[in-house]
Chain A
Amino acid sequence: MKTIEEQIKDARCATPDLPLHRAQLRRALLSSQKFEGSSLYTMKRLLPSTALLLLILGLSFAFHPENTGHPLTTPTASAQEVLANAAETFQSLTDAEIAILNEKFGVDSADILTEAHEASDLHLAHVETTFENGMTSYSFPEDTFSSDGEMSFTMSISGESQNNLTFLEYTKADGSIVRLGVDPEKGYAPSLIFVNSPDEMSVTMGGLTEGQEDIIMVNGEAGGNMTFQNGPVSGEIPAEYNPMDGEITVDENGCTHWTSDDGMMGGGGC
């Protein structure tokens, strides 16, 4: 009598081969638009002299007197290194962890990392903030917010952390500016996303932090009612309301509270 292991091994069939399919797929992959568009691959085709010229031009730009005093950026190489670390940490996550992270971010985290990698202006943004204080210490440019009185504000919070975050910043194809907060003490794990766009702002906080996983969602427009998806209706949104001017606290019961500088209060799920 064969053991169950032997039965399975004996059942291991000679799987049918598909040489035509393989050849077609191979050609498609190696000639794909994505492949051709990748800077990693196109750089290989540059002549060494051209590469040297580009390097000189890049250095000239970086050290130009008008650029050396720029307070917000550091060389792209450092940003790519941070991004590579973030990608490596992301790779080590389980399916369940990635699913939760994607839910917190509201987007596919892998796509964000790929988008950042492919962005031509990826750099490190000098924003000094912790995960917990990210909402209150970050200022958005005024012209990207409530320009016509409308506001769409989404905020998700997952736990709390005192770690200082590193921020990668890049511009999306639609002109939106993305700031991705990664946690150096957690292998640069993606932890926080800010997205600025002319007609919409979304702020997402999430990631590999311990603690409760409450989510507050605020959607509305200035002058309208502010509603909390996982909590009570809190009141009217003032015309000049700026959600950055306030602070978020988490009490001993794990309930999240928000207080604006003008005294407006709200609370989310526990």
Chain B
Amino acid sequence: MNLQEEQQLVLSAQKDPEAFGALFDVYHPKILAYLIHRTGEVALAQDLASETFFKALNKLWQFRWRSISFSAWLYRIATNEMHMYFRGKRSLSLENLMENSYFDVSDPTDLEEELKGAEAALSRQEDFLRIRAQLEQLPTLYQDAITLRYLEEKEIAEIAEILGKREGTVRSLLSRGLQKLRTALQHPEPSRIVDVEASFLFPPSKL
């Protein structure tokens, strides 16, 4: 799907639920993969992906093409949901979502089997799990930038859109994050790098 087609689909989705379904089909696999890469947990990623699309559906009317691409908007929602989860705000599970929608899960056993199979498949990805173990020691902003750049293969400009940062800031995050990751991989003893470093680098915007 090219940008023009996507723009047309987004415009339609604001009036047509089927168009939203088409966007869901394109982006759900990508958002789920991003959340698995970022969290390392299939069940959590599944919940966060559910919440991401639930939020996107409810806030689609707020979306305007000019300010941010739809793709970046979805990744931004997913990133925010993940941050909120790690700050202690629980996400909706698919089951809760369906209850709120008066919609029954038809075959919960099948869903559980699918989840177990996916978790088993992920547990066999040793290279990924080794990198992830070191990546998760970094401050959150570095994890976001490195995951989006090297695991999701996003361009710097799109990462900047997703994280709401300038491109130069993203480059700095990547450069410093990779340096920290390189050091951590050379000296695999886990050492927690505190968030305060990122805070000094990127002071919060003043309102």
For B131, give the chain A residue with the smallest CB separation: A11
List which A4-32 residues lie within 8 A (CB) of chain B: 4-5, 7-22, 24-32
For A209, give the chain B residue with the smallest CB separation: B207
A21 touches B114 (CB 8 A): yes
The digit string for A42-78, where 1 denotes a CB below 8 A from any CB of B, is 0110000000000000000000000000000000000
Cβ 8 A contact of B16, one of A9, A44, A94: A44
Cβ 8 A contact of A18, one of B17, B66, B115: B115
A21 touches B24 (CB 8 A): no
Task: Provide the residues of chain A in CB contact with B110, threshold 8 Å.
Answer: 20
B29 to chain A, nearest CB (A): 7
By size class, the interface of chain B is: 35 or more
B122 to chain A, nearest CB (A): 6
A91 touches B67 (CB 8 A): yes
B interface, over-half SS: helix
Cβ 8 A contact of A34, one of B21, B57, B182: B57
A32 touches B101 (CB 8 A): yes
Task: Say yes or no for B59: interface residue by CB 8 A criterion.
Answer: yes
A232 to B101, CA, bound (A): 50
From known contacts A16-B42, A16-B122, A25-B94, infer whether A88 and B100 are also in contact, taking CB-CB under 8 Å: no
Which of B37, B182, B207 has the largest count of A CB atoms less than 10 A from its CB?
B207
A101 touches B207 (CB 8 A): yes
A254 to chain B, nearest CB (A): 13
From known contacts A10-B127, A97-B205, infer whether A28 and B98 are also in contact, taking CB-CB under 8 Å: yes
B207 touches A97 (CB 8 A): yes
From known contacts A20-B114, A32-B100, A114-B59, infer whether A96 and B205 are also in contact, taking CB-CB under 8 Å: yes
A34 to B59, CA, bound (A): 11
A18 to B121, CA, bound (A): 12
A77 to chain B, nearest CB (A): 14
Task: Say yes or no for A131: interface residue by CB 8 A criterion.
Answer: no
Q: Which of B1-9, B46-54, B189-197 contacts A (4 or more CB under 8 A)?
A: B46-54
Task: Provide the residues of chain B in CB contact with A114, threshold 8 Å.
Answer: 58-59, 62
Task: Say yes or no for B111: interface residue by CB 8 A criterion.
Answer: yes
Task: Provide the residues of chain A in CB contact with B59, threshold 8 Å.
Answer: 110, 114
A114 to B110, CA, bound (A): 36
Task: Say yes or no for A158: interface residue by CB 8 A criterion.
Answer: yes
Task: Say yes or no for B146: interface residue by CB 8 A criterion.
Answer: yes
By size class, the interface of chain A is: 35 or more
A79 to chain B, nearest CB (A): 14
B62 touches A28 (CB 8 A): no
Task: Provide the residues of chain A in CB contact with B107, threshold 8 Å.
Answer: 20
Task: Provide the residues of chain A in CB contact with B132, threshold 8 Å.
Answer: 11
Cβ 8 A contact of A40, one of B15, B64, B121, B128: B15
From known contacts A20-B111, A213-B207, infer whether A28 and B101 are also in contact, taking CB-CB under 8 Å: yes
B103 touches A15 (CB 8 A): no
Task: Say yes or no for B185: interface residue by CB 8 A criterion.
Answer: yes
B21 touches A88 (CB 8 A): no
Task: Provide the residues of chain B in CB contact with A162, threshold 8 Å.
Answer: none
For B182, give the chain A residue with the smallest CB separation: A4
A159 to B131, CA, bound (A): 45
A95 touches B164 (CB 8 A): yes
A128 to B103, CA, bound (A): 48
Residues of A within 8 A of B (CB): 4-5, 7-22, 24-35, 38, 40-41, 43-44, 84, 87-88, 90-97, 100-101, 104, 110, 113-114, 117, 158-159, 206-210, 213
A20-B111, A84-B62 given; 4 more Cβ-contact pairs under 8 Å: A4-B178, A15-B37, A44-B15, A97-B205
Top 5 closest A-B pairs, CB basis? A16-B118, A13-B125, A96-B204, A87-B62, A15-B33
